[in-house]
């Protein structure tokens, strides 16, 4: 069949402030325009429907990651940092890196953190309850992962303030060179140097996950420099994502009082509440892939070597897949969303993320009776992440 179908074009800029501030109407327009849409602004193909996003993510041979999962095509332009051995790799290199990491992130290791995370969450929530009013983003959604995650990795106590600015560079770095990209990269040399230095074995405590990664990577035959690069994946992907997930979860609960009451009545819903948040306000909104061959989709031929943009957040609210997708509902089966991706590249840390979510939302459910906004939430714009800059609340 020849490619005769007409491709809908869109002049939407998914990395503009207006789009990022409130993407949901634009997501609907992209989904309704067709299974694949051409974005004139960036000359890339866009997928916003659940079925197509899932199809792209689960066909890594056709839609590869090694040309980068941001707008930059690594085959044509030099990326701002050395490519990730995990995220920005294809078979067989990706499989090898993934194997080294899954050897470490076993259910047993994740279980080891359950008590630590739960206790830390209970203590933190207890302190905030005493204060009454606080900023969910700084005091809870950032404070909690910034304590438990670097502890788990085995980072020293000093210098952890570099983790969020680095995450901002990474996630804004997937987008175009707009003001968000430039602002994130500004003055980042010291941040990058700190991160790279703390990926080395001698900077990590011997009993942490970072040291275990070095061990597992050595067993896989990786050179020391490559082992450090695998640790970099943890420091890149492990903090900002959970910060936004936790902040979004509290935002959803505070603005959906019936769901907050449901969680309070049954704190064992904490895990479901986190999962529904990942679907409803997906912290990671977008990732790119690159076509490796000419590929036919819905009668349209996408040439080889083209960037395609998958809208995870739009797929997670596609009415073709979800009932009442714009309702935040803890009782729905949110499993199957693509907020953690799908296929071979699906989030390798998702069990750790869920554990953080369960611990923190569980602590809130057990200790807090009333949760209400104490001021207007302010959004934090990012080329990839959806989340808040500040979220003032009052608890009782």
Q: What gap in Å lies between CA 264 and CA 271, rounded to an integer?
A: 13
Q: How far is the CB of 213 from ligand OVV (least distance, A)?
A: 12
Beta strands per DSSP E along the chain: 9-10, 37-39, 44-47, 63-64, 133-135, 286-291, 295-297, 300-302, 307-311, 371-373, 378-380, 387-390, 392-395
- Is there binding between residue 143 and ligand OVV (CB under 6 A)? no
Q: Which of 233, 259, 291, 292 binds ligand OVV (CB under 6 A)?
A: 233
Q: Which of residues 145-204 bind ligand OVV (CB under 6 A)?
A: 170
**# binding residues, ligand OVV (CB under 6 A):** 8
Q: How far is the CB of 3 from ligand OVV (least distance, A)?
A: 32
Whose CA is closest to 347, among 166, 86, 155? 86
Q: Do you find a cis peptide bond into 92, omega within 30 degrees of 0? A: yes
The CA distances from residue 47 to 25, 85, 126, 215, 287, in Å, are 15, 25, 43, 39, 10
Q: What gap in Å lies between CA 243 and CA 388, rounded to an integer?
A: 9
- Is there binding between residue 104 and ligand OVV (CB under 6 A)? no
Question: Near ligand OVV by CB under 6 A, which window of 20-28, 83-91, 249-257, 297-305?
Answer: 83-91
Choose between 124 and 239: whose C-beta lies nearer to ligand OVV.
239
Choose between 173 and 325: whose C-beta lies nearer to ligand OVV.
173
Question: Near ligand OVV by CB under 6 A, which window of 13-21, 81-89, 256-264, 318-326?
Answer: 81-89
Choose between 247 and 349: whose C-beta lies nearer to ligand OVV.
349
Q: How far is the CB of 282 from ligand OVV (least distance, A)?
A: 13
DSSP assignments along 27-69, one per residue: HHHHHHH-SSEEETTTTEEEE-SHHHHHHHHT-TTTEESTT-S
Question: Near ligand OVV by CB under 6 A, which window of 35-43, 199-207, 233-241, 324-332?
Answer: 233-241
Choose between 236 and 291: whose C-beta lies nearer to ligand OVV.
236
- Is there binding between residue 87 and ligand OVV (CB under 6 A)? yes
Q: How far is the CB of 134 from ligand OVV (least distance, A)?
A: 29
Choose between 150 and 377: whose C-beta lies nearer to ligand OVV.
150
Q: Which of residues 248-267 bind ligand OVV (CB under 6 A)?
A: none
Q: How far is the CB of 199 from ligand OVV (least distance, A)?
A: 11
Q: What gap in Å lies between CA 203 and CA 154, rounded to an integer?
A: 8
Q: How far is the CB of 193 from ligand OVV (least distance, A)?
A: 17
Other CB atoms within 10 A of residue 132 CB: 11
The CA distances from residue 120 to 109, 111, 124, 133, in Å, are 17, 15, 6, 20
Q: Which of 237, 312, 353, 364 binds ligand OVV (CB under 6 A)?
A: 237
**Contact status, residue 251 vs residue 377, Cβ threshold 8 Å:** yes
**H or E segment and range at residue 329:** none
Whose CA is closest to 318, among 110, 81, 42, 54? 54
Q: How far is the CB of 170 from ligand OVV (least distance, A)?
A: 5
Q: How far is the CB of 162 from ligand OVV (least distance, A)?
A: 15
- Is there binding between residue 86 and ligand OVV (CB under 6 A)? yes
- Is there binding between residue 286 and ligand OVV (CB under 6 A)? no
Q: What gap in Å lies between CA 337 and CA 192, rounded to an integer?
A: 33
**Contact status, residue 299 vs residue 36, Cβ threshold 8 Å:** no
Q: How far is the CB of 237 from ligand OVV (least distance, A)?
A: 3
Contact positions vs ligand OVV (CB under 6 A): 84, 86-87, 170, 232-233, 236-237
């Amino acid at each position: 069949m020849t490619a005769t179908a007409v491709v809908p074009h869109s002049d939407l800029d998914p990395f503009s402030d207006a789009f990022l501030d409130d993407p949901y109407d634009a997501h609907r327009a992209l989904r309704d325009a067709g299974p694949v849409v051409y974005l004139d602004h960036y000359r890339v193909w866009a997928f916003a429907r659940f079925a197509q996003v899932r199809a792209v993510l689960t066909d890594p041979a056709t839609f590869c990651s090694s040309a980068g999962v941001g707008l930059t095509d690594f085959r044509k332009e030099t990326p701002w940092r050395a490519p990730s051995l995990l995220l920005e790799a294809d078979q067989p290199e990706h499989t090898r890196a993934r194997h080294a990491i899954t050897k470490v992130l076993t259910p047993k290791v994740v279980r080891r953190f359950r008590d630590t995370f739960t206790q830390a969450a209970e203590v933190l929530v207890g302190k905030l309850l005493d204060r009454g009013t606080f900023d969910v983003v700084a005091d809870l959604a950032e404070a909690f992962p910034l304590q438990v995650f670097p502890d788990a990795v085995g980072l020293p106590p000093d210098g952890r303030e570099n983790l969020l600015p680095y995450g901002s560079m990474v996630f804004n770095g997937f987008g175009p060179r707009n003001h968000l990209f430039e602002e994130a990269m500004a003055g980042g040399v010291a941040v990058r140097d700190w991160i790279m230095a703390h990926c080395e074995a001698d900077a990590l405590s011997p009993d942490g996950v970072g040291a275990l990664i070095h061990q597992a990577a050595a067993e896989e035959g990786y050179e020391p420099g490559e082992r450090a690069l695998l640790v970099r994946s943890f420091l890149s992907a492990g903090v900002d994502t959970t910060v936004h997930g936790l902040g979004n979860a509290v935002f959803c609960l505070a603005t959906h009082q019936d769901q907050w009451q449901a969680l309070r009545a049954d704190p064992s819903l904490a895990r479901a509440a986190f999962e529904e948040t990942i679907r409803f306000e997906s912290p990671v909104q977008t990732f790119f892939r690159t076509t490796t061959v000419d590929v036919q989709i819905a009668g349209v031929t996408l040439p080889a070597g083209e960037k395609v943009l998958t809208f995870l957040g739009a797929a997670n609210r596609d009415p073709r897949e979800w009932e009442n997708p714009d309702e935040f509902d803890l009782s729905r089966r949110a499993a199957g969303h693509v907020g953690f991706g799908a296929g071979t590249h699906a989030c390798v840390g998702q069990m750790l993320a869920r554990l953080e979510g369960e611990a923190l939302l569980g602590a809130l459910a057990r200790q807090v009776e009333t949760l209400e906004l104490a001021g207007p939430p302010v959004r934090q714009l990012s080329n990839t992440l959806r989340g808040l800059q500040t979220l003032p609340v009052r608890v009782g």
